[in-house]
Structure 1
Amino acid sequence: MSSPSEFRWVSEPVVHAIHNEQISRHGGLPGIRDNALLESALARPKNVFAYENGSITQCAASYMYGIVRNHPFLDGNKRTGFVVGVTFLILNQHYVEVSEADVVMEILNLANGNTSEEALELWLRRIIVPLK
């Protein structure tokens, strides 16, 4: 796995592009609901790394949790949160092998408060694969 000192982070413009693409493909209201909540969600993984020596899966889970639970966009927060987390993994030479049904179940449970950030991170550990 990548050394945390070498992590590449997902920038805010990329997150907006991901959100716009998700809305374009799957529908929903475009736009931001609360920019401070988005900034908070994007700072979370960096704080996990800086203060907890966070692993790649902890940081990816933090991106997902922050966006899904903070609900910074008008719509598409679950989709955007998952794709941002996976984008972080890809930027850092990893991806996930998982069925769409499992993703839907895990992210819905996260959104409903039935999955903790720690449980999400454990799930990511089971499905993460290094890029070849």
Structure 2
Amino acid sequence: MTEFLDPEDVEALLDEEGFHYKDGARGRNLLLSALAAPMPVFGEDVHPTLDEKAAVLLLAVMRNHALADGNKRLAWLVTAAFLELNGVDLVVDDVDGADRFLRSVASGGVALGDVAKWVRERMHPIA
């Protein structure tokens, strides 16, 4: 069974990283919406695999723009935390390549399936 991030834990991460919502309550609601993106809808698992759930979470956090600055960084941190909660490390050997990929995702140039593939290739079970 998939575990999902608790919004309060994500808000603690925001404080820890010094991130600020773009428009107060509106920004918070955008983040809550993004956190719900990988969850089942009416009991149906829309995104059946962990990599798909992680990819849709990454995309939602990035595209919802809940923060004044740092949406790509937050998307990365939240996705890594989500995977860790589910027993998986997100391991990146090429930081510059990951940065280019995330910028491409943020610009809308990468489809969900490609994001899921990228995540899947970097998932390693926590020992």
Is residue 86 of structure 1 aligned with residue 73 of structure 2? no
Moved over 3 A (4+): 47-51
Between the aligned partners of 1:44 and 1:15, the Cα distance in structure 2 is 15
Contact 1:22 1:76 in 2 (8 A): no
2:110 counterpart SS class: coil
* Distance change >3 Å, CA 97–CA 31, structure 1 → 2: same
Structure 1 portions without partners, runs of 5+? 1-5, 24-28
Matches within 5 A, 1:1-132: 6-23=1-18, 30-33=20-23, 34-47=27-40, 50-98=44-92, 99-132=94-127
- Which shows bigger deviation, 62-71 or 14-23? 14-23
Which residue identity is paired with 1:8?
E
- In structure 2, stretches of 5+ residues that fail to align are none
What is the alpha-carbon distance in structure 2 between the residues aligned to residue 20 and residue 101 of structure 1? 26
- Distance change >3 Å, CA 76–CA 20, structure 1 → 2: farther
Separation (CA, whole Å) in 1 of partners of 2:113 and 2:99: 18
Task: Give the deviation of 1:19 after TM superposition.
Answer: 2.5
TM-score scaled to structure 2, two decimals? 0.85
Query: Residue 37 of structure 1 contacts residue 72 of structure 1 at CA under 8 Å; is this kept in 2?
Result: yes
Report the equivalent of 1:26.
none
Q: Which amino acid aligns with 1:118?
A: G
Residues 116, 21 of structure 1: alpha-carbon distance in 2 compared, 3 angstrom cutoff: farther
User: As a proportion of its length, which structure holds more helix?
Assistant: 1
Distance 2:29 2:87 in 1: 29
Q: Using the TM superposition, give the Cα deviation of residue 32 of structure 1 relative to its aligned residue in structure 2, in angstroms.
A: 4.3
Cα RMSD after superposing both structures: 1.9
Deviates more, 1:71-80 or 1:41-50: 41-50
Q: Normalising by structure 1, what TM-score? A: 0.82
- One-letter identity of the residue aligned with 1:37: L
